[in-house]
């Protein structure tokens, strides 16, 4: 049995629901001061709001849209010691509506410039223990340019979103490799493009960029994750098209799993431990949201989140098509072993 290097996952990542009041609202019980917060309404349509400490409060980008950065005065207004505060924006705080938040801890605030690459970041907030950094930088339109991430370890997953113009959030994942990319605003299969990562894998200090407008011509925010035993896992699996689906071992109880089909069109899918619903065969699957859509959550779930990984309970191409290939990103609710061992659902 593998032993965790992060025994208390809850001080680094948290899935937390809350009830809107369409006024000012403080969400507490996160367990730490977050540096990245992702917000989504559950019961009605709304966009996926991402706000981070590097860009600052009220500054929002959207996973499901190509829009550049927006200033949402009544959006996320403060990062607190045990959570965050929001205003009355109906996309994240509609009265009596249930909403969902996912919070990550980076370096605790805006951080400082990183000069490791040929492009200096304006600011990088980094937590080398949990393997997460947030950076803001201005591109130089030069293929082969590099930007520092500060992790001191090779990132397994990198997200880059243009702020000053319209472009989708671009995803690098180690399973796809340095010639492929995905975008979170669309359901497309992975695409090949030298102009994104310059056919060069990230190193322990920098991410290499091509000259595509999605990653290296304007201003950008970059989220980078290195895999940490007992806390995060970035991998792939092949579906079997059966309701008794593929099992994926993560080594911890996932608090959040994001999946995307690689070899064909299918939605991005988010499942977490805080939202469970009706499923097949008497199981308790986690209900799903789609990062590429503004849809309300589906009332049924298609994967089980287990004490040591997750298991598909569907024949749907989104998460378990026959011989379809997938990437996933998972963050722990609880480690498999350690101070707070995970229990089965």
Q: Which tens digit of pLDDT belongs to each residue from 157-213?
A: 999 999 999 999 999 999 999 999 999 999 999 999 999 999 999 999 999 999 999
Task: Show the CA angle centred on residue 293, arms to residues 291 and 297, nearest 5°.
Answer: 80
Instruction: With beta carbons less than 8 A apart as the criterion, state whether 17 and 92 touch.
Output: no
Q: What is the CA radius of gyration of the chain?
A: 19
> Are 143 and 198 contained in the same domain?
yes
- As given in the structure block, the two tokens for residue 80 are 């607190």
Domain that holds residue 277: 232-335
Q: Does the residue 111 lie in any domain?
A: no
Closest CA to 269 of 321, 230, 221: 321
> Are 201 and 238 contained in the same domain?
no
Q: What percent of the chain has pLDDT over 70?
A: 91
| Phi, psi (rounded to 5 degrees) for 194 | -60, -30
Confidence label for 342 from pLDDT (cuts 50, 70 and 90): low
Q: Does the residue 328 lie in any domain?
A: yes
Which of 204, 225, 246 finishes a domain? 225
How high is the pLDDT of residue 282? 43
Instruction: With beta carbons less than 8 A apart as the criterion, state whether 114 and 284 touch.
Output: no
> Are 276 and 243 contained in the same domain?
yes
Cα separation, 143 vs 129, in Å, equals: 31
Q: What percent of the chain has pLDDT over 90?
A: 85
Cα separation, 177 vs 120, in Å, equals: 24
Give the residue, 344 or 77, on which the prediction is more confident.
Answer: 77
Q: Does the residue 4 lie in any domain?
A: no
Cα separation, 231 vs 9, in Å, equals: 6
> Are 83 and 153 contained in the same domain?
no
Cα separation, 28 vs 291, in Å, equals: 24
pLDDT digits (tens, 9 = 90+) for 101-133: 999 999 999 999 999 999 999 999 999 999 999
Which of 75, 104, 133 finishes a domain? 104
Q: Does the residue 199 lie in any domain?
A: yes
Lowest mean pLDDT among 28-37, 69-78, 197-206, 274-283: 274-283
> Are 25 and 83 contained in the same domain?
yes
Sheet containing 232-238: order of strands: 232-238, 325-335, 252-261, 269-276, 286-289, 301-305, 309-312, 247-249
Q: What Cα–Cα distance (Å) separates residue 244 from each residue in 237, 314, 315, 343?
A: 15, 7, 9, 21
Q: How many domains does the chain have?
A: 3
Give the residue, 299 or 191, on which the prediction is more confident.
Answer: 191
């Amino acid at each position: 049995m593998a032993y965790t290097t992060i025994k208390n996952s809850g001080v680094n990542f948290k899935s937390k629901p809350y009830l809107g009041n369409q006024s000012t609202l403080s969400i507490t019980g996160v367990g730490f001061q977050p540096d990245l917060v992702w917000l989504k309404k559950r019961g009605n349509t709304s966009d996926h709001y991402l706000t981070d400490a590097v860009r600052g409060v009220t500054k929002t980008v959207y996973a499901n849209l190509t829009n550049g950065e927006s200033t949402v005065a009544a959006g996320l207004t403060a990062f607190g010691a045990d959570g965050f505060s929001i205003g009355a924006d109906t996309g994240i705080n509609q009265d009596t509506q249930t909403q969902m938040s996912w919070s990550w801890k980076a370096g605790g605030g805006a951080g400082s410039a990183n000069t490791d690459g040929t492009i200096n970041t304006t600011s990088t907030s980094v937590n080398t223990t949990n393997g997460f950094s947030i950076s803001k930088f201005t591109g130089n339109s030069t293929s082969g340019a590099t930007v520092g991430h500060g992790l001191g370890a090779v990132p397994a997953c990198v997200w880059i979103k243009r702020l000053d113009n319209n472009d989708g959030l671009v995803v690098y994942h180690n399973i796809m490799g340095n010639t492929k990319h995905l975008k979170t605003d669309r359901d497309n299969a992975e695409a090949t493009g030298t102009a994104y990562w310059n056919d060069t894998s990230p190193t322990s200090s920098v991410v290499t960029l091509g000259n595509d407008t999605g990653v290296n011509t304007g201003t950008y925010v970059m989220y980078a994750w290195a895999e940490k035993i007992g806390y995060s896992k970035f991998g792939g699996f092949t579906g079997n098209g059966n309701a008794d689906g593929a099992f994926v071992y993560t080594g911890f109880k996932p608090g959040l799993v994001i999946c995307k089909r690689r070899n064909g069109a299918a939605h991005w899918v988010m499942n977490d431990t805080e939202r469970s619903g009706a499923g097949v065969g008497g199981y308790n699957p986690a209900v799903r949201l789609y990062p590429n859509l503004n849809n309300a959550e589906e009332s049924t779930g298609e994967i089980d989140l287990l004490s040591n990984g997750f298991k598909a309970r569907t024949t749907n191409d989104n998460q378990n098509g026959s011989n379809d290939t997938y990437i996933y990103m998972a963050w722990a609710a609880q480690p498999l072993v350690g101070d707070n061992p995970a229990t089965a659902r």
